[in-house]
Amino acid sequence: MVDETVNAAKMNTFINNNNKFNKKKVVFIMGATGTGKSRLSVDLATHFQGEIINSDKMQVYKGLEIVTNKITHTDKQGVRHYLLEQSVLNSRVNTKVYEMVNAGLVDEVRQIFIPDAEYTKGIRLSIGVP
């Protein structure tokens, strides 16, 4: 534990004394579900007075919290999170399908949602992405 504290202090001194490091940074944390990404992101955001922008590809689907191991309010430790708990994709797809049906494009909607088709391709097509 002492080594980690010493190393962190050395890194902070190096960063603070080096102008090229005094720019705003973006850190991407990637990995499988349950590997500690949320905790690491909160620790980094707390240490560097940062904020977290969530981009978990599964959390954009409403109702999949159990699959994604979503961070709890307590675990956020007061760090501001963006795009968490927002079902962006479901809302956009539903709106697009509704607009298409109202425009008389029922057959086109059926083509998008072919039962044995790849699910992600159908979603991309429904929102206008090839």
> What is the CB neighbour count within 10 angstroms for residue 52?
20
- Give 52's strand partners: 81
For the entire predicted model, the pTM comes to 0.46
Please report where in the chains the tokens 């999170």 appear, as a residue: 81
Spell out the residues 6+ positions from residue 102 whose beta carbon is closer than 8 angstroms to its own.
none
Identity (one letter) of the amino acid at 4? Answer: E
Q: Rounded to an integer, what is the distance from CA 65 to the centroid of its chain?
A: 13
Which tens digit of pLDDT belongs to each residue from 78-121?
A: 888 776 665 555 566 667 777 877 888 777 776 665 555 555 56
Q: Which CATH number does the domain 2-82 belong to among 3.40.50.300, 3.90.1150.10, 3.40.367.20, 3.30.2420.10?
A: 3.40.50.300
Which tens digit of pLDDT belongs to each residue from 36-79?
A: 888 898 999 898 888 887 766 555 555 555 445 677 788 888 88
Residues 21-47: what's their mean pLDDT? Answer: 80
Domain coordinates in residue numbering, the chain: 2-82, 88-126
**HSE-up (13 A, CA, CB side) for residue 46:** 10
